[in-house]
Structure 1
Amino acid sequence: MEAEQRSNPGARLVPGASPARSATMRAAVHQRYGPPSVLESSRIGIPQPGPGDVLVQVGAAAVHIGDYFVLTGEPYVLRLAFGLRRPRHGIPGRDLAGVVAAVGKDVTTCRPGDEVFGWSTTGTLTEYACVPADHLVPVPADLSVVSAAAVATSGLTALQALRDIAGVRPGQSVLITGASGGVGSFAVQIATAFGAEVTGVCSTRNVDLVRSLGADHVVDYTQTDFTCSDTRYDVILDNVEARPLAATRRALTPTGTLIPNSGRGGRVLGPLGRIVTARVLSVFTRQRLKPLLSVEKRQDLLTLADLIATGQVTPLIDRTYPLDEAADALRYVGAGHTRGKVVVTL
């Protein structure tokens, strides 16, 4: 499902020796908030793993809309977590896949040379990343490093929304907006694996793509407004939130679940206003309005690895960029029309 690749990143990495303490590495770094042009290619010291950490030689790192928001510092509420005046961690990126270069003395789940994927909280657009061992799992057999890097954030969001919040069961009707995007492309496949009747909402150019992901029905939003049809859904995962809450609720069954999941909104509070509104409305209706707060869990990442290994889920890759073009990758993600995931290769 790789729509476009600008290099040949699918080959397996060849593990190398652990780097010397004095060695340096390439990284994409921003010292201030701003557009992607604030990213600079720098050489910085290679981090050393603590007792429970793993040093990963990064082969690929996915970027998503949250990385773009942190880079720009908007909505401003994000700065409470990432630094008020300037970013605390100047390396963007959260998802990664690569080869274990070294492990801390307490690590028993992997060893040097193992291929792993997962997430980091200190940036992944760099040649090496120091990651807690419980943030990593083995790469499934026959999965490329690029595809593995695309899984963690978007895959976990889709899994937890559908399984934990909505409790999707076989036979339920599930509608997913932004069905061709990062979270949406995982959600369509996961809901299908759970036995739901899946409807994906996307633009004209992505109708065939979303159908190929397993959707039973596809709504082209340029032709049809799903909130104005007579069809009602047990679950709506709204990754776009282009329609008012009141309109989207009309497409729910009387006891259905709506999960708002767009990070966009105003420059100050972002989506917080819509989240608060959804929670207040939940008190006065039998419909469940449940904004999503995804939490990375290693066990859930293992669940995704199993779904991938059994062929029920395949990461959808839109484009790949080399590290030197990380700014272009984030600019493309920020435009908001990705088809699956965007990955930076090293």
Structure 2
Amino acid sequence: MPYLQVVLTDFGGPERLELRTVEDVPKPGPGEVRVRVLVTSAAFTDVMIRKGMYPDVKEKPPFVPGYDLVGVIEALGSSVEGWSLGERVADLTTIGAYSEYICLPAERLTRVPDGVADADALAMILSAVTPYQMLHRVAKARAGQSLLIHGAGGAVGSAMLQLARDVGIAAYGTDVAAKHDLIRSFGATPIDAEADDKEAAIRDAVGDGVDFVFDPLGGESLSRSLHALKPGGMLIAFGFQNEVLGRGGSIPLDFVKLKLWDWLPNGHATAFYSIGAMRRQHPEWFKEDLATLFAMLAEGRLDPAIAEVVPLSEVRHAHERVEAGEAPGKLVMRVSE
């Protein structure tokens, strides 16, 4: 039976993403299940992968991108136990999710609770596990503390604001003015990311500083983030958007800065977070944390910001929106019904 998938033909712009027809659905091998993908997303990590700038992806085009998915089990490989046909599941695939069908190791999957919308469940996988682990596994933040996150109106940022509110942490967030109402809706204080003097704008908002800063931008933003900390605070970097978008910065140099600042006796700690590295080191944490987030979602404690749901055929447009920073929250692509 023919099915559709998106293939990245070469590293580069959105025009390198091509919708293709594949003749036969894949057959699951031992320990695998075949999943019919319901939804996937366009995230900034997908932009990095498309440009050949994501360290965890060693594959060279052509390949099928797609970092996360929610889908339905349609076939079981031999020796698979504990799973049934028709169950809804989630996974962080890194690549491969831009396809109507994919075969995955059963042990990697997490069940999606009944009553949770596909798009909302998808928003938990990459975009909520990332801030959850940074907040609780890395920063070990607690009620009464404070944080600043850059890109607060995006998928990860908006999830971080909700998680902070849930545990009683005061939150500040930088982003463009069009996303300030969204930031306020989650109980956080917005800061203009396009201010002429960005460091002054942050300083005016946070006063004597915050306990934690979460920085996906890199480059010059790292220094501003360090200066926004109160004594004893921690800077957690988790991306390199400035270099990827041609706005300065250097991924190797950013790593050196973080290591040096962490070593120097400056009263601050630094760390770099990668969801892929954390999952490789602690695979049980990923499943535990995603299950926790699904439970919070089912309880109504989280309300994911979904920017838009578009068909997979609009993948180029979706990547353009994410790369331009236009999407307020998670940009979802519907693959099948």
Deviation at 1:63, TM superposition (A): 1.8
Quick one: percent identity of the two aligned structures? 30
Aligned to 1:136: 109
Aligned to 1:72: 51
> Are residues 1:236 and 2:213 paired?
yes
- Say which of 252, 261, 278 aligns to 2:238: 261
Partner Cα distance (2:304, 2:113) in 1: 12
> 1:171, 1:197 within 8 Å by CA — same for their partners in 2?
yes
Partner Cα distance (2:120, 2:101) in 1: 18
Change (3 A) 1:121 1:209: closer
Secondary structure at the counterpart of residue 253 of structure 1: strand
- Residue range with higher mean Cα deviation, 220-229 or 38-47: 220-229
Tell me the alpha carbon deviations over residues 31-58 of structure 1, each in whole angstroms, 9 at most, x when there is no partner: 2222111222111232221222221111
Deviation at 1:242, TM superposition (A): 6.9
- Say which of 174, 178, 181 aligns to 1:208: 181
Tell me the alpha carbon deviations over residues 101-124 of structure 1, each in whole angstroms, 9 at most, x when there is no partner: 112233334211111222224411
Change (3 A) 1:121 1:208: closer
Secondary structure at the counterpart of residue 290 of structure 1: strand
Partner Cα distance (2:300, 2:262) in 1: 37
Deviation at 1:241, TM superposition (A): 4.2
Partner Cα distance (1:260, 1:158) in 2: 11
- Say which of 142, 146, 162 aligns to 1:169: 142
- Say which of 42, 58, 61 aligns to 1:87: 61
Partner Cα distance (2:290, 2:108) in 1: 9
Aligned to 2:193: 221
Deviation at 1:231, TM superposition (A): 3.1
> Are residues 1:26 and 2:15 paired?
no
Secondary structure at the counterpart of residue 126 of structure 1: coil
Change (3 A) 1:245 1:26: closer
Q: Quick one: which amino acid aligns to residue 126 of structure 1?
A: S
> Are residues 1:310 and 2:286 paired?
no
> Are residues 1:336 and 2:325 paired?
yes
Change (3 A) 1:132 1:213: farther
- Say which of 189, 199, 224 aligns to 1:247: 224
Partner Cα distance (2:51, 2:171) in 1: 35
Q: Quick one: which amino acid aligns to residue 309 of structure 1?
A: A
Tell me the alpha carbon deviations over residues 91-141 of structure 1, each in whole angstroms, 9 at most, x when there is no partner: 111111121111223333421111122222441111111122233222233
Q: Quick one: which amino acid aligns to residue 25 of structure 1?
A: Y
Partner Cα distance (1:62, 1:49) in 2: 23
Higher relative contact order (CA 8 A, sep 6+): 1
Deviation at 1:305, TM superposition (A): 0.9
Aligned to 1:8: none
Q: Normalising by structure 1, what TM-score? A: 0.84
RMSD: 2.2
> 1:264, 1:271 within 8 Å by CA — same for their partners in 2?
no
Aligned to 2:34: 55
Partner Cα distance (2:143, 2:80) in 1: 39
Secondary structure at the counterpart of residue 9 of structure 2: coil
Unaligned runs of 5+ in 2: 280-285
> 1:227, 1:247 within 8 Å by CA — same for their partners in 2?
no
Aligned to 1:124: 97
Secondary structure at the counterpart of residue 101 of structure 1: strand
Deviation at 1:67, TM superposition (A): 0.9
Q: Normalising by structure 2, what TM-score? A: 0.86
Aligned to 1:159: 132
> Are residues 1:105 and 2:75 paired?
no
> 2:42, 2:315 within 8 Å by CA — same for their partners in 1?
no
Aligned to 2:261: 281
Q: Quick one: which amino acid aligns to residue 316 of structure 2?
A: A
Aligned to 2:282: none
> 1:26, 1:42 within 8 Å by CA — same for their partners in 2?
yes
Deviation at 1:142, TM superposition (A): 2.4
Secondary structure at the counterpart of residue 127 of structure 2: helix
Q: How many residues align?
A: 317
> Are residues 1:299 and 2:288 paired?
yes
Partner Cα distance (2:36, 2:219) in 1: 39
